[in-house]
C-alpha cells in the first residue's frame, strides 16, 4: 500500500481550524477528508469510501489530529457531516461513520437520492450507462466487461438517511457558505470557511476533474461544469482552496483558468478528429487517450463523450449517419465537424 501524507492543519482568517486528512479511498487513490473545528463545533466534510481499509485509516487520521496538534477529536464528537457530492470516494464511508455518531448528514438536493436510495441509483444509472456504451460503438463483450467494473466495489455501500439539504440559500453551519458547482457531479458544492474554500472535486491542483455526459446523468456535462468554473472564480475572499484530492491551491482563479484552457484544447482536438472523417465516441476516446486499460477505459469514454456532447449541443458537430439513426433502434452516432 502506498505511503500517505500526514494530517495538515490550516487556520482561517477568523481563527477556525481546518484539518486535512488524506486517506486511501481505493488502492493507490487518495481522497482528502476535512474536519472543521472552532474548538466547540466539529464538522466532518466527506468521509472516504466504503472500503474497510479506508475506514480504518479514517479513525487513525482522527487520532493523528490529537497526536500532532493537541486537539482530541473522535467521530463521536462530530456535530454535523457535510457531503460535498455524490461520488463513492466521498460519501461511501457513511455507514461506518454512522456506527460512531448520529450527527446529521447534509448533501445538496441533486445528490440526495444517491446517498439515501443507493440501490435504486445503481440500477437506474447502470441502465443509462448501458445505453450510452452501446451508442459509443463498443462491442457487446467490451460493454459487458465495463459494466462489471462499473458495479465493482459499489455493492459495499448501504443507503443512509439524509437529514438536511445543503443549498446556497442557507448556511449549512454558522459561518460556512455553500456554492452549487455542478458538472463533475449534479449536486456538488464548494464550502467556504472564512477565507478557505473546500473546493471538493470541482477544482483540483493538478488534474482536470473527470467529466461525464449529461445524457447519462442530468446536471452533469461539460457545459454545466464550465459555467460552474466561472461561478467559482468569482467567489470573493478566498485565500486558499483545498480540493477533494491532491494539493492546496493558493491561486483559485488562476487554477480555474488553467482547467478551462485544458478543456478548450481538448475540444479543439475533438473538432480536428471529426473534420478528417466521421467519428463515434469510441473513436474519439481512442484518439484522445490512446490505449488505456481497465476502469480507465470507462472514464475515457465518459470524458470523450462529455466533450462530443458539448460540441454537438452547440452545433459544431453534426450526425453524419442520419439514415442509420432513422432506421436503427440503438444506432452508433458518427459525428462530423461542420
176-208 confidence digits (pLDDT tens) = 999 999 999 999 999 999 999 999 999 999 999
Q: Alpha-carbon distance 11 to 15, whole Å?
A: 6
The pLDDT assigned to 331 comes to 83
Q: Is 272 a residue whose pLDDT tops 90?
A: yes
Instruction: Decide: residue 15, CB within 10 A, 0-12 exposed, 13-18 middle, 19+ buried.
Output: exposed
Strands 8-11 and 80-82: unpaired
Strand order in the sheet with 240-243: 176-180, 189-193, 196-200, 240-243
For 80-114, how does the pLDDT look when each residue is reduced to its tens digit (9 = 90+)?
A: 999 999 999 999 999 999 999 999 999 999 999 99
Phi then psi dihedrals of residue 311, to 5 deg: -70, -40
pLDDT band of residue 154 (cuts 50, 70, 90) is low
Global pTM reads 0.95
Q: Is the dihedral of CA 319, 136, 260, 33 positive or negative?
A: positive
CA distances from 228 to 19, 185, 270 (A): 26, 11, 22
> Grid cell 462491442 — which residue?
139
The pLDDT assigned to 156 comes to 80
Q: Which three cell numbers stand for residue 194?
A: 472564512
Q: Which three cell numbers stand for residue 65?
A: 489530529
Instruction: Decide: residue 79, CB within 10 A, 0-12 exposed, 13-18 middle, 19+ buried.
Output: middle
Residue 248 CB-half CA count within 13 A: 16
The pLDDT assigned to 1 comes to 37
The pLDDT assigned to 139 comes to 87
Strands 29-37 and 17-26: antiparallel
Closest CA to 243 of 50, 94, 22, 5: 22
Q: Is 235 a residue whose pLDDT tops 50?
A: yes
> Grid cell 468521509 — which residue?
47
Amino acid at each position: 500500500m502506498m505511503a500517505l501524507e500526514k494530517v495538515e492543519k490550516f487556520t482561517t482568517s477568523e481563527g477556525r481550524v481546518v484539518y486535512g486528512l488524506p486517506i486511501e479511498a481505493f488502492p493507490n487513490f487518495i481522497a482528502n477528508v476535512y474536519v472543521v473545528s472552532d474548538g466547540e463545533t466539529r464538522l466532518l466534510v466527506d468521509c472516504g469510501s466504503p472500503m474497510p481499509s479506508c475506514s480504518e485509516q479514517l479513525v487513525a487520521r482522527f487520532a493523528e489530529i490529537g497526536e500532532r496538534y493537541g486537539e482530541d477529536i473522535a467521530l463521536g464528537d462530530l456535530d454535523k457531516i457535510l457531503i460535498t457530492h455524490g461520488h463513492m470516494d466521498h460519501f461511501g464511508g457513511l455507514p461506518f461513520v454512522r456506527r460512531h455518531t448520529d450527527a446529521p448528514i447534509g448533501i445538496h438536493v441533486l445528490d440526495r437520492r444517491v446517498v439515501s436510495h443507493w440501490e435504486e441509483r445503481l440500477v437506474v444509472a447502470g441502465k443509462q450507462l448501458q445505453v450510452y456504451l452501446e451508442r459509443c460503438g463498443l462491442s457487446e463483450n467490451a460493454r459487458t466487461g465495463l459494466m462489471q467494473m462499473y458495479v465493482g466495489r459499489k455493492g459495499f455501500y448501504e443507503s443512509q438517511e439524509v437529514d438536511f439539504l445543503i443549498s446556497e440559500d442557507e448556511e449549512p453551519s454558522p459561518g460556512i457558505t455553500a456554492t452549487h458547482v455542478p458538472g463533475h457531479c449534479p449536486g456538488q458544492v464548494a464550502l467556504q470557511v472564512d477565507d478557505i474554500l473546500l473546493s471538493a472535486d470541482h477544482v483540483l491542483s493538478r488534474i482536470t476533474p473527470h467529466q461525464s455526459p449529461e445524457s447519462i446523468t442530468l446536471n452533469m456535462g461539460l457545459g454545466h461544469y464550465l459555467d460552474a468554473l466561472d461561478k467559482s472564480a468569482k467567489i470573493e475572499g478566498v485565500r486558499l482552496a483545498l480540493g477533494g484530492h491532491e494539493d492546496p491551491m493558493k491561486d483559485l482563479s488562476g487554477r480555474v483558468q488553467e482547467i478551462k484552457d485544458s478543456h478548450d484544447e481538448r475540444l479543439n482536438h475533438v473538432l480536428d478528429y471529426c473534420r478528417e472523417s466521421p467519428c463515434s465516441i469510441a473513436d474519439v476516446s481512442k484518439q484522445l487517450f490512446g490505449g488505456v486499460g481497465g476502469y480507465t477505459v470507462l472514464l475515457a469514454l465518459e470524458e470523450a463523450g462529455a466533450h462530443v456532447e458539448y460540441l454537438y449541443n452547440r452545433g459544431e458537430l453534426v450526425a453524419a449517419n442520419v439514415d442509420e439513426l432513422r432506421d436503427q433502434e440503438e444506432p452508433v452516432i458518427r459525428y462530423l465537424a461542420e
